[in-house]
């Protein structure tokens, strides 16, 4: 789902924009949502991510094409395994 509805105003948040991506994934309030997302994508049913902390390494480029949001996520699983995940939102050119 690319949009999240604000029930009070009826507005949507587009998570494919820089603002929306940071609003959903880059704040403490979205922590549980992010852990649920990562556990589902990474199929961590038997050892789910139980906690994580954020480190933003945002790069503000000169133009909109140069901007990107990168989050290093320091995760701890239910079995105390430590995992570092890099989550990015940015344009990337394919090199063939």
Question: Does residue 65 contact residue 49 with C-beta atoms inside 8 Å?
Answer: no
- List 82's β-bridge partners, or say none: 76
pLDDT of 10 over the 90 cut:
no
28 lies in some domain? yes
Q: For the chain, how many structural domains are there in total?
A: 1
Q: What is the pLDDT of residue 50?
A: 95
Q: Which domain holds residue 53?
A: 3-89
Residues 72-87: tens digit of each pLDDT: 888 999 999 999 888 7
Residue pair 16/6 in contact (Cβ under 8 Å)? The answer is no
Instruction: Give the pLDDT confidence score for residue 40 in this predicted structure.
Output: 95
Q: Is residue 96 part of a domain?
A: no
pLDDT digit string (tens) for 17-70?
A: 767 777 887 778 888 988 998 999 999 999 999 999 877 555 555 665 555 666
pLDDT on residue 65: 59
Taking the C-alpha atoms of residue 24 and residue 21, their distance in angstroms, rounded to an integer, is 5
Does residue 94 lie in a domain region?
no
Closest by CA position to 36, among listed 45, 89, 83, 27: 45
Whether residue 21 is contained in a domain is answered as yes
Domain membership flag for residue 95: no
DSSP string across 52-78: EEEEE--B--SSGGG-BEEEEEEEEET
């Amino acid at each position: 789902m690319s949009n999240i509805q604000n029930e009070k105003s009826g507005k949507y948040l587009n998570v494919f924009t820089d603002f929306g991506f940071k609003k959903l994934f880059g704040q403490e309030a979205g922590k549980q949502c992010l852990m649920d997302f990562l556990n589902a994508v990474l199929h961590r049913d038997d050892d789910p991510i139980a906690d994580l902390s954020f480190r933003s390494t945002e790069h503000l480029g000169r133009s909109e094409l140069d901007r990107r949001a990168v989050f290093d996520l320091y995760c701890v699983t239910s079995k105390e395994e430590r995992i570092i995940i890099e989550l990015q939102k940015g344009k990337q050119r394919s090199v063939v």
